[in-house]
Every structure is written in C-alpha cells, then in structure tokens.
C-alpha cells in the first residue's frame, strides 16, 4: 500500500475540514468558558458552610465525574423523546453536545477551582474581612483574581482535553473534525491519509490556543511584573499629609473600645476567661504576656474575627459583637459591619493582596465602600504612603518590598479607612531584627499624633516607652494593668517581674 501524500496535503485546504475546525473551536471554547463559570460556583458551594448547598454541589461533582461522557451525550441528544419541549434546542447536535460537555466538564473544572481556592492563604480573607469587605466582594476582589491565576495552568490543560473530547460528539452526528474525516475515508478508503489530516487540525487548534493561554498566564503572573504603570503626575504628587489622629489630647473621656466579660473557647479549652477592657480616645494600650496567654485571641475577638462565647464588645458606645446564644440573639449584619469599619487591623504576617500594587492595596477598601471618587482616594492613598515613608513605592507589588516595607503598607491600608482605633497583632514578629525599627517608628509617630491604639507585642521596651497603659495577660485573664510606671512597681516579686526584667523606662 502506497501512502498518498498528495491527497493528504490536499485535505489541509479542504473547506469541509476548516468548517469543522470552526465548529470545534466554538464548541470547545463555549464549553470551557461555561465550565469555568459554573465550576467556580460549584467549587464555592462544595466549601459552603450551608449543608444543603454543600451536599448538592458535592453530589453534582461526584455524579458527572463518574458518568461517561459518551453516555451523557447520547442521553442528552435523545432527551426530546422523553421531554418533547427540549427538542427546540436539543434537536440540534451542536447545542446537545454543548450541554453534555458543559455538564461533564464543569464537574472537573470545579475541582481545579477548588484547588485554587484552597491555595489562597486564610490571612488574605481575614484582611479583607477586617476592611469590611463582604463575601461577594471578597470573592470578586481578592479570591477570584488569585485563585484563577493559580488554576490557569490546569484550566489550560483542561481546554486541551475538551478539544479532544469534542471528537465524541460525532456520535450524535455533529459535523466536527473526526466526523468529516470518517465520511471521507468511507468513500475513498484512504484511512491513514485522512487521519493524518484529522490529527493535524487537532494539533493546530491545541497549539494556537495553547500559546494564547500561556500568554494570558504570563500576563497574570504578578511575580513577573516589575512596576505597574505610573499614575498621572497630578495623582502622584501628594498634598500635605493630613493627621489621622482621632483625639486632640490623651485620655479624652470618650471610650472608643470597650470589652465586657469577654469569654472565648476552642473546644474545651477556654482561652479568654472574662476579659474587661476599656480604651479611651487617644490612649495607647500595649498587651503583653507569655505565649498562649490569650493576647492574640483577645485582639482577634475584639476585631470581630472570632465569635464570642460570652460578653460584649462596643465601639464608641455602640454594641457590635456579643454571644449569639445570649439574650440578644444573633448580632445583626448591619451592626457588625459598622463596628468592623471603625476598627483598623494590622496583622503580624502583613496579609497584603499580592495581585494588587501598593497603592491599589490601600485604595481597595475605600473604593469598595465608595468613600469618595477615585481621584480623591488615590490622593488620600498617596498621603498615607507618604506618612509611612513609601510614596516612591506606590506602583510596586508587595513581593518587591521588604518585610518592613510590607508591614508599613499594611498600616497605611488600615489607616485609609479612617478607623477610630487601630489594633496591632504582633506587628514585628514576622520581621528580621534589622527591619523592626522602621515599623516601630511608624507606630510611634501615630501615637504622637493621638491615634487610639491597642498593640499586642513582645517588644517590651517599645511597649513601656510608647504606651499609656500596659496590660499583662496570663492564662486567659488580665493579671495586671496600669501605667508603665505602676506595672513596673507592681512587678517586684511577681510572675511579671521575670517577663519584663529587661524593660527600661
């Protein structure tokens, strides 16, 4: 048998094949895009805390991953025999094939998305919540951009799979590439020549779209970026820095934050055993104590990151958090969000959004909450960056900054929401020793301006130097509190003495 190269070459310009190529591209792209959208919602549903939603999505993914595509294609195409009304769409092989492929592929793509969602650090979500961004906003602004970038290589690979799976649609007589080839070789029996052309067309589609998807992947990879496009000069020139102080003098009578009888447990372990704490306007309170004493649990509870088992939290006299099992019932969403927006939170691990530039990190929450027009928010963002000494880095990405610079950006991001009080959870614990001082200087400058702050820290000397009041926690209770001089005096002969022995006034 002689291979007919001339005939095989002629098939590369065959009109029927190129028409079939267009059908395959339309079918595969539509399936891929539908699968990406539907798969994302299935992935979210599988992780939902709502039992019925979780079970429904998990069942869908299990069923359509288990069902052979060929069986599903035949079933969908013949569905009008059982449900005649569906014949309007399903009598067309293209729409029947698209439905069957989309149902099947969305189950596989859902697991790809779930891998992307699970790879987003929990701190990113908490940082968004601390800025008052609600669930839909978290997904749209923080989770989806990062999860999609992480999942894109696997999604691109899944597109290749979809292109090849379109060959199965020939069983319902859709004129795609394989069916065109089959019709030709049944007429002339030149099977190898025809199949070579079929292979060429599939390889061509996969190669062209593969390069396109790789280009998108490179474009979305922020680690390959240097500096974002500069803002117009009018937006890059900051105006004189406005003070963020929320009190003109120390110890103003107004109580900004008040915790009463706060209790918190994880399982059988009670980490907070009835904490009472009031912070006045302009006051700086440092919370110190050994590891495991409940410091971080307290500050996370105060900020609404954790629920209460008992007690109540008030901001400027308004309750925004209490035990849901208490007489007041569940906290309303409106009250909870009002309290969150009035509290700024700085995490020990920065939790900057890596897909956003420094300036975008700062203006993200104010834009989400529509605090002002974009130009005004950009101006205010630049002012905040100048306040922390990073205006020249506005268009860089977090990965291009040092740890100390990232933490200063995190402080500016929290300040951009103009909170009544700032909470710092071990702001220097993730930094190298030489970077600690630059963050502490920013915090000290805020204290001098009269910013109300609660700082959990192991920097004992810094705490005693900057604070108006020291709170020493141990075993989930406040063991001692008062002005630094008083705490130093009370420490003699107590457990506190060993902890603060190196502190200098």
Residue 236 has pLDDT above 50, yes or no: no
The conformation of residue 332, written as its DSSP 8-state character, comes to P
pLDDT bin (cut points 50, 70, 90) of residue 66 is very high
DSSP output for 342-368? TEEEE-TT----TTS-HHHHHHHHHHH
Q: List beta partners, residue 279.
A: 257
pLDDT of residue 227: 59
Any idea which of 256-260, 387-391, 428-432 has the lowest mean pLDDT?
428-432
Gap between the Cα atoms of 13 and 408, Å rounded: 61
What dihedral do alpha carbons 331, 332, 338, 344 form, nearest 10°?
A: 40
pLDDT in tens, 312-326: 999 998 888 888 877
Residue 245 has pLDDT above 90, yes or no: no
Per-residue H/E/C for 110-156: HHHHHHHHHCCCHHHHHHHHHCCCCHHHHHHHHHHHHHHHHHHHHHH
Any idea which of 79-93, 239-253, 267-281, 477-491 has the lowest mean pLDDT?
239-253
Domains located in the chain, CATH noted = 5-220 (1.10.3720.10), 255-499 (3.40.50.300)
Do the bridges between strand 284-288 and strand 469-474 make them parallel or antiparallel, or are there none, so unpaired?
parallel
Gap between the Cα atoms of 13 and 26, Å rounded: 20
pLDDT of residue 292: 86
pLDDT bin (cut points 50, 70, 90) of residue 504 is low
Q: Which tokens hold the place of 394?
A: 């506005």
Q: What is the SS3 assignment for 16?
A: helix
Radius of gyration of the chain from Cα atoms? 30
Gap between the Cα atoms of 168 and 48, Å rounded: 34
Which of 66, 69, 60, 70 has the alpha carbon at shortest distance from 39?
60
Phi/psi zone of residue 352: left (φ > 0), alpha (ψ -120 to 50 degrees), beta? Answer: beta
pLDDT in tens, 101-113: 999 999 999 999 9
Q: Which tokens hold the place of 293?
A: 């004493």
Residue 232 has pLDDT above 60, yes or no: no
Write down the residue that tokens 């009472």 correspond to: 276
pLDDT in tens, 484-501: 888 888 777 677 777 776
Gap between the Cα atoms of 56 and 239, Å rounded: 54
Instruction: Look over the chain and give the mean of its residue pLDDT values, rounded to a whole number.
Output: 88
pLDDT in tens, 179-199: 999 999 888 889 999 999 999
236 vs 216, which has greater pLDDT? 216
User: What is the mean pLDDT of the segment spanning 4-14?
Assistant: 91
| Percent over 70 (pLDDT), the chain | 93
pLDDT in tens, 128-158: 999 999 989 999 999 999 999 999 999 999 9
DSSP output for 373-431? -HHHHHHHHHHHHHHTT-GGGTTB-GGGS-HHHHHHHHHHHHHTT--SEEEEESTTTTS
pLDDT bin (cut points 50, 70, 90) of residue 118 is very high
pTM of the model: 0.82
The side-by-side arrangement of strands in the sheet containing 469-474 is 343-346, 421-425, 453-456, 284-288, 469-474, 477-482
Phi/psi zone of residue 475: left (φ > 0), alpha (ψ -120 to 50 degrees), beta? Answer: left
């Amino acid at each position: 048998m002689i291979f007919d190269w001339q005939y095989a070459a002629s098939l590369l310009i065959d009109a029927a094949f190129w028409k079939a190529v267009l059908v395959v591209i339309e079918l595969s792209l539509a399936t891929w895009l539908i699968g990406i959208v539907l798969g994302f919602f299935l992935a979210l549903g599988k992780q939902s805390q709502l039992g019925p939603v979780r079970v429904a999505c998990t069942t869908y993914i299990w069923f359509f991953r288990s069902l052979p595509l060929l069986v599903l294609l035949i079933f969908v195409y013949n569905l009008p025999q059982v449900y005649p009304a569906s014949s309007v769409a399903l009598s067309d092989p293209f729409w029947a094939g698209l439905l069957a492929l989309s149902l099947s592929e969305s189950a596989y793509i859902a697991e790809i998305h779930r891998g992307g969602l699970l790879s987003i650090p929990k701190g990113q979500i908490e940082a968004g919540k601390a800025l008052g961004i609600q669930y839909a906003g978290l997904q749209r602004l923080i989770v989806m951009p990062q999860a999609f970038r992480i999942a894109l290589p696997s999604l691109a690979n899944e597109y290749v799979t979809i292109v090849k799976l379109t060959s199965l649609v020939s069983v319902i007589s859709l004129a795609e590439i394989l069916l065109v080839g089959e019709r030709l070789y049944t007429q002339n029996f030149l099977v190898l020549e025809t199949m070579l052309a079929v292979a060429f067309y599939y390889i061509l589609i996969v190669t062209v779209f593969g390069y396109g998807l790789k280009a998108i992947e490179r474009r979305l990879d922020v680690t390959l970026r240097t500096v974002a496009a500069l803002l117009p000069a009018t937006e890059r020139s900051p105006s004189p820095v406005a003070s963020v102080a929320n009190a003109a003098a120390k110890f103003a009578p107004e109580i900004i934050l008040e915790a009463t009888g706060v209790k918190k447990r994880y399982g059988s372990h009670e980490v907070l055993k009835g904490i009472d704490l009031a912070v006045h306007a302009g006051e700086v309170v440092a919370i110190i104590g050994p590891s495991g004493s409940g410091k971080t649990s307290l500050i996370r509870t105060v900020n609404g990151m954790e629920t209460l088992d008992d007690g109540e939290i008030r901001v400027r006299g308004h309750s925004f958090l209490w035990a849901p099992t208490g007489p007041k019932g569940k906290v309303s969403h409106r009250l909870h969000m009002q309290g969150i927006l009035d509290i700024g939170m700085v995490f020990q691990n920065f939790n900057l959004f890596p897909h956003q530039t420094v300036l975008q990190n700062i203006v993200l929450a104010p834009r989400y909450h529509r605090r002002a027009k974009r130009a005004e928010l950009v101006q205010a963002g630049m002012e905040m960056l100048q306040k922390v000494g990073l205006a020249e880095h506005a268009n860089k990405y977090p990965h291009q900054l040092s740890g100390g610079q990232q933490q200063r950006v995190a402080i500016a991001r929290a300040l951009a929401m103009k909170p009544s009080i700032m909470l710092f959870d071990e702001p220097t614990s993730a930094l190298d020793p030489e970077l600690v001082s630059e963050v502490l200087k920013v915090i000290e400058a805020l204290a001098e301006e009269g910013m109300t702050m609660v700082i959990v820290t192991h920097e004992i000397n810094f705490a005693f130097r900057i604070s108006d009041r020291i709170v020493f926690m141990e075993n989930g209770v406040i063991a001692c509190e008062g002005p630094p001089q008083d705490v130093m005096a009370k420490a003699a002969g107590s457990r506190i003495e060993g902890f603060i022995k190196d502190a200098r006034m």
